[in-house]
Structure 1
């Protein structure tokens, strides 16, 4: 029982860390820009996990599967991270974290062409609820459907679609691969990709101490430590129960934004979040 309580405490901690990633990006992205910020995030996280992977003597597994790990890693980290960082130039911490909760919806949508799963009425209803939640959030964000309001939301949805696709490809291409190998290898590949982009778009002005602290916390806590906790939970609770963290991340994202950035939480935020989470729950419901 004590062990189970410890695992669920870790689940809450993981949600707090991943919810905090939206806070850290919101603080740091105006100073660094999306490309430099994400290069720092994946680079520092890779440097943190690489010694652990070497210590566990898993280098050979990475080398034997580096190409597939690189593709999965890039679409699970670098690409969606850049989209989220760009979106957070205009979206609040809370709204970005709520939109991020569409990841299970996108994963279910990809299951149709990639895994051959039928789009049942239950799945269709869950996707419809999720779409309705996005539309409510969009209406509350801009009160009008113009390009300036739509593009950041579309970037968030493209990011969650990337998460969903990469999740399916990881299951297809890397069955049985130790999670640390996939994560560390993917982060290293993402860091190599992001390095020239960061050099190209490195900010001219020097970032302040607050932005640098946000980068460090983003890389060390919301990326490296969060990955390690997630892998432990998968081993202890199983993938399905560990994925329930998705329901908690928006709670902490909204909370951190309200506490530290004084972001307002309106009725559209609650309504949109409720519809998205209802869609996710409907997708995961088992008769």
Structure 2
């Protein structure tokens, strides 16, 4: 009888452990690295976090929607919204974690208020980052858009441009190379770092925590409130993780909590 009870206890223990396993898809950097950092903390809380690294942006959502994975961590809300609309899925954000920010840089001026009338400003020419750049210019008070929340705005959507800024669109990767030739350049952080710019010190203005491009933990409506998922969400907002992000990525990734 005693052996039977021991065996049953072991079965229940294994079942409980299996119920607390959380399988999360992520891209390698920084998402999987962030998840691996919080993995020991979750283990102490009885959650076995399994990180599955993907190199594409489609399968992580597909497999979560099909219940082959519990969650994913690689995207921002604008991408998720577009994916849901195009694929007919209903994936939801659990929590925001970090931002890989866009900043405005200048070698000629130390503040945006110094920009002269008719200044030349360069922004990325792809739809996503071009819209981000215009939203950042709007947040800085330099322009106003017809739709102030349009993340896909183009230069044709500028309603007010009081300084008559000459806004040109160039390939994102080339922007650091033309920085000295223009008055202001809006540069993605990865390219800024490659150009030896320090986003936390050199950017005259940079996207903040309220940016729509905050990277999010994503799940399904049926499991977003599950105890294990909420423990992961809490771990992704811990002071220890914030310090890890600040120390490891040095401005290329910014905590959004």
TM-score, normalised to structure 2, is 0.22
Q: Which has the higher contact order (CA 8 A, sep 6+)?
A: 1
Q: Which has the larger radius of gyration?
A: 2
TM-score, normalised to structure 1, is 0.20
